[in-house]
Amino acid sequence: MSQITETQSSPKPLIIAIIGPTCTGKSDLAIELAKKYPIEIISSDSRLVYKEMDIGTSKPTVEERKLIPHYMIDIIEPGKDYSVGVYKKEVESIINNVFSKGKIPLLVGGTGLYLNSILLGLSLPEAKPDLSFRRQLKDFTQEDLYKNLNELDPKATEIIHKNDNYRTIRALEIIYKTNKLYSRLRIMREPPYNVTWVGLKYENKAQHLEAIQKRTKSFCSNGFIDEVKYLITKYGELDLFRKTIGYSEVIDFLKERIDENKMIENISLNTKQLAKRQMTWFRANKKIKWIDIDHYNREDILSFIEEGSFAKTSSISIS
């Protein structure tokens, strides 16, 4: 088995990040790398933290998680609050534990805020969610909320997308609770890691959409509708489900607002829009080495990461 060994002493330990938009095979690639190298995988997906949301989130299987250690999956029940601040604290502890075993943490996912909180030294204000305040905002449109945020803290709207309802509300909540500007509390610090960033994307957008459509149909033929039916029976029609692509559309189908074909079409198109938003977020990070997966097979991609990303860094080589 190949091993990654240090070639130069470095004050910063190595972390690998496999990132990119949804439906690009990030998790599968991470598992393949972990089979070859002393790697443990940490999810950076804001939905994988929730138990029982399995099919619609493309969660790694139980068998895969037994084969390779995975973290930040199935840690809380739907309906319970979870924040990037909690994620950051828990993952930093996990990373130190992985390092203590002489292994390499590999972060994989598409939630840019989670990744940036760990790997770009993003420090966010500590403020617990205020459910009463959030309920007061439910009657306002996202356009109104974003306009309000822009009036209170114009610099905050430079870092929060106009359609990002969750982060718009979170920024308003922080301003409300702390009486301080969100943009001033959001600090970037130099991270204590040497990060190898690998991004997976499609150059051909039509091919990406085709992959999304294929995955959506696979979800729906492998129990996804039953999964959603079970979840809303157990937990009710949570905001979490309504704000998660796939789950929201299946709820509309179960309520007979749309037929199955329209449900599949809506999931695919909304997933495509999510991928576009994710790419907008990731393009700000110039450290990412992008691989167009429609031009390379899996062996080529692995070789690129091993020889290009690993061997050319100052801290590791392959032997």
Position 319 pLDDT exceeds 50: no
Q: 311 and 194, same structural domain?
A: yes
- Dihedral pair phi/psi, residue 207, rounded to 5°: -70, -35
Q: 270 and 159, same structural domain?
A: no
Q: 117 and 19, same structural domain?
A: yes
Q: 107 and 49, same structural domain?
A: yes
Chain centroid to Cα 302, Å, comes to 21
pLDDT value of position 312: 42
Q: 136-145, 214-223, 226-235, 296-305: lowest mean pLDDT where? A: 296-305
Q: Which residue shows structure tokens 């001033």?
A: 184
Q: 90-104, 161-175, 233-247: lowest mean pLDDT where? A: 161-175
CA distances from 190 to 46, 84, 116, 118 (A): 23, 18, 11, 10
pLDDT band at 78 (very low <50, low <70, confident <90, very high): very high
Position 89 pLDDT exceeds 80: yes
* Among 19, 57, 8, residue whose Cα is nearest residue 279: 19
3 state SS of 270: helix
CATH number of 89's domain: 3.40.50.300
Contact (Cβ atoms closer than 8 angstroms) between residue 145 and residue 169: yes
Q: 187-191, 238-242, 284-288: lowest mean pLDDT where? A: 187-191
- Dihedral pair phi/psi, residue 40, rounded to 5°: -125, 140
Q: 223 and 298, same structural domain?
A: no
d(CA 114, CA 118): 7
The domain containing residue 174 runs over which residues?
Answer: 126-185
Q: 64 and 195, same structural domain?
A: yes
d(CA 19, CA 290): 9
Q: 52 and 199, same structural domain?
A: yes
Q: 199 and 51, same structural domain?
A: yes
Under 8 Å CB-to-CB from 274, ≥6 apart: which residues? 21, 22, 245
Token couple for 16: 């690998």
Per-residue DSSP letter, 308: I
Position 1 pLDDT exceeds 80: no
Q: How many domains does the chain fold into?
A: 3
* Among 59, 83, 68, residue whose Cα is nearest residue 219: 59
Q: Which of residues 270 and 186 earns the better pLDDT score? A: 270
Q: 247 and 179, same structural domain?
A: no
Dihedral sign, Cα of residue 130, residue 131, residue 133, residue 137: positive
Most confident among 131-135, 151-155, 304-308 (mean pLDDT)? 151-155
CA distances from 191 to 195, 234, 316 (A): 9, 41, 19
Q: 258 and 156, same structural domain?
A: no
Interval 259-275 mean pLDDT: 96
The pTM assigned to this predicted structure is 0.81
CATH number of 261's domain: 1.10.287.890
pLDDT value of position 162: 83
Interval 209-235 mean pLDDT: 97
CATH number of 169's domain: 1.10.20.140
Structure confidence by residue, pLDDT tens digits, 6-42: 444 457 888 999 999 999 999 999 999 999 889 999 9
Bridge partners for 41 per DSSP: 70, 106
Percent pLDDT > 70 in the chain is: 90
Neighbours of 230 (CB within 10 A): 12
- Neighbour order of strands in the sheet with 70-71: 70-71, 39-43, 104-109, 14-19, 194-201, 289-292
pLDDT value of position 56: 97
Q: 118 and 131, same structural domain?
A: no
pLDDT band at 296 (very low <50, low <70, confident <90, very high): confident
pLDDT value of position 315: 38
- Dihedral pair phi/psi, residue 105, rounded to 5°: -75, 135
Average pLDDT, the chain: 87
Q: 197 and 62, same structural domain?
A: yes
Q: Which of residues 155 and 210 earns the better pLDDT score? A: 210
Position 76 pLDDT exceeds 90: yes
Interval 230-242 mean pLDDT: 95
- Dihedral pair phi/psi, residue 194, rounded to 5°: -100, 105
pLDDT value of position 318: 33
